[in-house]
Amino acid sequence: MSSILSGKKVLLGVTAGIAAYKAASLVRMFIKSGAEVKVVMTPTAKDFVTPLTLSTLSKNPVHSSFYNEEDDNAEWNNHVELGLWADIMIIAPATANTLSKMSTGNSDNLLLATYLSAKCPVYFAPAMDLDMYNHPSTHETFRKLQDFGNIMIPAESGELASGLVGQGRMAEPSTIVSFIEKDILGKLPLRGQKVLITAGPTYEAIDPVRFIGNHSSGRMGIALASTAANLGAQVTLILGPSSLKVSHTLIKVVPVVNAASMYKAVVEAFDTCDVAIASAAVADYRPKNIADQKIKKASSTFAIELERTTDILKWMGSQKSTQFLVGFALETENEEKNAKEKLKKKNLDLIVLNSLNDKGAGFKSQTNKVTLINHKLEIKAFELKTKTEVAKDIFNEINRLRNV
């Protein structure tokens, strides 16, 4: 099982409130969700929870000042780098004092300077006593911060440190994590969409021991599936033989071996999908007759009669109604011309062209270099990137074209 927070970089800001003791549980929950966590504290927050505790749990140094006062040669803690590092920033607990400073641009400590440098979504979880929470100036601060685009995680009602009972208690760590997960999911561009992806090679049997196959690892298709899931889609990944593992709550893996089983799986899933991406390296031919027993060496030459497999991408192109259909073209010559012909012939909305002539592209590589050609024959060429980055470029183009 995987959380939408898996792989995310979470920057936790801890301020000087009694609820700071909950920061330890919050760090653990983020780590358990698969996130990488760094912590920044206000100087007086250390009176409520120790940096050692949060550093041990996060497995990262905890910063509370711009420089180490005990080491004249130490490098300064760069608030800009911290702010740019994060995918998500959460300030919890967020005291009335810190929130007021955030709303006015006051930058008298490392946490506030980091907040002002952050380019990511910023969440804040207020924690203060009842009268402070209800004060008009506090509500004005909440309004201003939300107008800036920050996201408020409402305080809960209950017994407060003063002994009063009412709203002002910081939301529980489990509530905070759940709130952020739901907020991220609700804003994802493919939320509620179904994406079908074929990936990997197909193996066409010659006899019980041998097969005709190719060098595809399935890495590009798996990167596409993970990207789609991280954008909120329900993904069906039809995966040929591959040693790579896939683990995501939004990805259903359908393992197949040959072109016939891949075609059958595609037929079952295609009607209900919104986006289909055919990234698999499907065999064009298969042995016409498969031997029941291992073929023994007999003569110096050996011939295998082959027959065509079903053209899965062509079938999808002939059957599509509202689906957005993407194909791949791996070429070795006349790349652009061949890709455009395939785009039209298979009735595609977008084709992803890569060439074996490009170093670092193609099978088994961690990287790829692609050119995207849409149905209007508009061309976008990209530099060599990791396959995860390529997958993001492809989905950026898919989302753009679907919203035109």
| Four-residue CA torsion sign, 373, 374, 377, 383 | negative
Nearest residue to 156 (alpha-carbon basis) of 165, 144, 167, 140: 167
DSSP-assigned letters across all residues of 84-141: HH-SEEEEEEE-HHHHHHHHHT---SHHHHHHHH--S-EEEEE---HHHHHSHHHHHH
Are 87 and 119 in contact by the 8 Å Cβ rule? The answer is: no
> Considering all CA atoms of the chain, what is the largest pairwise distance in Å, rounded to the nearest integer?
94
Report yes or no: 202 and 256 within 8 Å, Cβ to Cβ: yes
Q: In 3D, which of 201, 336, 319, 205 has the Cα closest to residue 266?
A: 319
Residues 6+ apart with CB under 8 A from 50: none
DSSP 8-class letter at 322: S
Residues 351/343, Cβ–Cβ less than 8 Å: yes
One of 60, 214, 338, 396 is an active-site residue; which one?
A: 214
74 close to 67: Cβ distance less than 8 angstroms? yes
| Two tokens, residue 120 | 């990511």
106 carries an active-site annotation: no
Under DSSP, is residue 277 helix (H, G, I), strand (E, B) or coil? strand
Alpha-carbon distance of 226 to 207, in angstroms, equals 35
SS3 264: helix
Measured between alpha carbons, how far is 51 from 53 in angstroms, rounded to an integer?
5
Q: Residue 195, exposed/middle/buried by CB under 10 A (0-12, 13-18, 19+)?
A: buried
The residues carrying an active-site annotation are 214
